[in-house]
């Protein structure tokens, strides 16, 4: 039964059978063709038997191994490598079908290669998951055919594996290198000029040309008989919290990701950079009530706790309760902290309803309200219109775009720091805002 289950025929088999059937039909009208057709049929059967004997020989062995990361990153291109190995001397044509997780909804993924005898080959492709959770990879199905190409043999290889998709670890590592090294040249992660002297004292060093003469330590200079200057470093152990709204307003999708997923990725990157700067990172999520409350810390396990917490976050279909969120912040956040609030406003009414809580938070902490531009309607508001329906559509799009700008202006009027950003620019803009506020000594 195993032999029958793994035996398949190719297109060549059907073409040959169609030709033989047509010739057999013609032999009824032209009897002289019958011996020739019968001979061809016998030859074809023999070729099929030879092809089966070649492919189902015990010496014919082909392996395929899937090489991928133990954890996939959300919204990034994650590389996957399939390594093929021909363990026999027969030249084989191989069609490989990798059983991808159902979340990708790809049923036509196949790779066709030719493997010479005792040859190796590797095929690389990438996967971009757009939802967090567990992804189950099935087996790799190999369909082998010889030079004759009449039948195919199926070999099942590569073990099934379940891989979790976490918030983007790839982005976290990329921005960590760019931020800590301060060598980034692309848009976004850049060095921010330091303003003032709101830094912790580090040590005293000899004066070098170009040092700030206002930092000269005159007592040390008199003792050493040479100019000495104070060296400062950024203040440490400052508290930074990412507060994520998980209500229905964060369901809106852009480029396959919801606004919550963008906020989750940005929060992981910010937490990693905050810990790298020797500050304390914390996390609060809420919807109708507070869901996750992770107190700010800079222990070695803090980043892992943030990652695990963000991995489990899901959108809710309820309205956000800012009163309960405010009470949760008062309970868990003791000292003055920097708060990144990731949310979204689509109307002035919804904004005015939560403004009192935002003003209270800003009085006690340094609050940065982050909400999103609707990039889907921006092209609609600027294109040429020709019909009355298009005029109505454009006016509606302009109204929603203007509403976002008005909300941002209202927040600034009350002294609340604001970021109105495109979803795809959220991570970079959040990093820049944190570095700017830290360099200005505002936290």
**In percent, how much of the chain has pLDDT > 90?**
69
How much is the pTM? 0.82
Average pLDDT over residues 58-72: 93
Number of domain units in the chain = 3
| DSSP E strands, 298-433 | 338-342, 366-372, 417-421
Residues 69 and 210 in one domain: no
Interatomic CA distance for residues 202 and 217, integer angstroms: 13
Res 85 pLDDT > 80? yes
Q: Which stretch of 82-91, 282-291, 362-371, 434-443 has the lowest confidence by average pLDDT?
A: 434-443
Residues 313 and 276 in one domain: yes
CATH number at residue 109: 2.60.40.10
Residues 276 and 184 in one domain: yes
Query: Which pLDDT belongs to residue 180?
Result: 64
Residues 250 and 301 in one domain: yes
What is the per-residue pLDDT across 8-48, written as a single tens digit (0 to 9) for each?
999 999 999 999 999 999 998 888 889 999 999 999 999 99
- Is 120 domain-assigned? yes
| DSSP E strands, 130-199 | 133-137, 140-145, 151-157, 161-166
Residues 86 and 103 in one domain: yes
Q: pLDDT-based confidence at 234, cuts 50/70/90?
A: low
Residues 159 and 181 in one domain: no
DSSP of 354-380: HHHHHHHHHHHSEEEEEEE--TTTTTG
Q: pLDDT-based confidence at 105, cuts 50/70/90?
A: confident
Q: Per DSSP, what are the bridge partners of residue 232?
A: 201
Work out the angle between the directed axes of helices 302-311 and 259-276 (0-180°, nearest 10): 180
What is the per-residue pLDDT across 126-145, written as a single tens digit (0 to 9) for each?
999 999 999 999 999 999 99
Residues 319 and 394 in one domain: yes
Average pLDDT over residues 313-328: 94
Look at residues 149, 166, 183 and tell me which one is the last residue of a structural domain: 166
Average pLDDT over residues 332-342: 93
Average pLDDT over residues 333-351: 93
Look at residues 150, 166, 182 and tell me which one is the last residue of a structural domain: 166
* 158 Ramachandran zone, left/alpha/beta (phi>0; psi -120 to 50): left
DSSP 139: P
CATH number at residue 272: 3.40.50.410
Computed on alpha carbons and rounded to an integer, the radius of gyration of the chain in Å comes to 33
**3-class secondary-structure state, position 327:** helix
- Is 198 domain-assigned? no
Look at residues 232, 252, 281 and tell me which one is the last residue of a structural domain: 232
Residues 98 and 73 in one domain: yes
- Is 263 domain-assigned? yes
Say if CB 317 and CB 349 are below 8 A apart.
no
Interatomic CA distance for residues 75 and 169, integer angstroms: 10
Query: Which pLDDT belongs to residue 186?
Result: 42
What is the per-residue pLDDT across 175-229, written as a single tens digit (0 to 9) for each?
887 776 554 444 455 544 444 444 555 668 888 877 777 788 888 888 888 888 8
**In percent, how much of the chain has pLDDT > 70?**
93
Task: Report the alpha-carbon angle 252-256-261, nearest 5.
Answer: 65
Average pLDDT over residues 400-411: 94
Expressed as residue numbers, the domain containing 114 is 1-166
Interatomic CA distance for residues 165 and 72, integer angstroms: 5
Nearest alpha carbon to residue 344 among 379, 326, 319, 325: 319
Query: Which pLDDT belongs to residue 229?
Result: 85
Nearest alpha carbon to residue 411 among 421, 420, 422, 402: 420
Residues 281 and 295 in one domain: yes
Interatomic CA distance for residues 355 and 22, integer angstroms: 81
| DSSP E strands, 103-150 | 111-115, 120-127, 133-137, 140-145
Res 308 pLDDT > 80? yes
| Chain centroid to CA 37 | 61
Q: Report the chain's mean pLDDT, rounded to a whole number.
A: 89
Nearest alpha carbon to residue 368 among 276, 288, 270: 270
Res 312 pLDDT > 70? yes
Residues 80 and 137 in one domain: yes
Query: Which pLDDT belongs to residue 384?
Result: 86
Residues 189 and 312 in one domain: yes
Interatomic CA distance for residues 130 and 256, integer angstroms: 6
Res 97 pLDDT > 70? yes
Nearest alpha carbon to residue 281 among 291, 269, 290, 289: 269
Residues 221 and 300 in one domain: no
What is the per-residue pLDDT across 388-397, written as a single tens digit (0 to 9) for each?
888 898 898 8
């Amino acid at each position: 039964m195993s032999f029958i289950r793994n035996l398949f025929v190719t297109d060549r088999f059907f073409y040959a059978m169609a030709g033989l059937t047509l010739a057999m039909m013609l032999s009824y009208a032209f009897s002289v063709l019958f011996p020739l057709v019968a001979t061809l049929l016998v030859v074809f059967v023999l070729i099929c038997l030879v092809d089966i004997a070649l492919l189902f020989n015990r010496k014919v062995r082909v392996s395929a191994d899937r090489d991928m990361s133990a954890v996939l990153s959300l919204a990034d291109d994650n590389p996957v490598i399939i390594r093929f190995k021909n363990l026999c001397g027969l030249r084989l044509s191989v069609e490989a079908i990798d059983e991808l997780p159902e979340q990708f909804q790809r049923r036509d993924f196949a790779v066709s290669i030719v493997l010479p005898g005792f040859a190796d080959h590797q095929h690389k492709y990438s996967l971009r998951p757009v939802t967090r959770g567990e992804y189950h990879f099935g087996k790799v199905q190999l369909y082998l055919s010889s030079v004759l190409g009449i039948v195919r043999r199926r070999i099942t290889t590569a073990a099934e594996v379940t891989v979790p998709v976490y918030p983007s670890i790839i982005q976290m590592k990329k921005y960590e290198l760019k931020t800590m090294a301060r060598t980034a040249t692309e848009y976004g992660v850049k060095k921010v000029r330091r303003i003032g002297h709101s830094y912790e004292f580090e040590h005293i060093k000899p004066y070098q040309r170009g040092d700030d003469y206002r930092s000269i330590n005159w007592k040390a200079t008199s003792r050493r008989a040479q100019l000495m200057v104070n060296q400062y470093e950024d203040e440490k152990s400052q508290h930074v919290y990412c507060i994520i709204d998980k209500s229905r307003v964060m369901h809106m999708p852009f480029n396959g990701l919801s606004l919550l997923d963008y906020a989750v990725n940005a929060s992981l990157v910010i937490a990693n950079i905050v810990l790298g700067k020797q500050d304390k990172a914390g996390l609060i999520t809420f919807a109708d009530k507070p869901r996750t409350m992770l107190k700010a810390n800079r222990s070695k396990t803090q980043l892992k706790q943030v990652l695990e917490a963000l991995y489990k976050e899901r959108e809710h279909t309820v309205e956000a309760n800012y009163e309960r969120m405010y009470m949760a912040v008062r309970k868990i956040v003791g000292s003055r902290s920097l708060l990144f609030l990731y949310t979204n406003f689509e109307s002035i009414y919804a904004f005015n309803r939560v403004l009192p809580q935002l003003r209270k938070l800003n009085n006690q902490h340094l609050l940065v309200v982050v909400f999103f531009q609707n990039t889907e309607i921006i092209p609609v508001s600027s294109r040429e219109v020709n019909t009355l329906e298009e005029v109505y559509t454009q006016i509606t799009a302009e109204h929603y775009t203007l509403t976002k700008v008005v909300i941002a202006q209202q927040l600034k009027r009350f002294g609340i720091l604001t970021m109105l950003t495109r979803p795809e620019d959220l991570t970079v803009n959040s990093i820049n805002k944190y570095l700017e506020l830290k360099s200005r000594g505002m936290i």
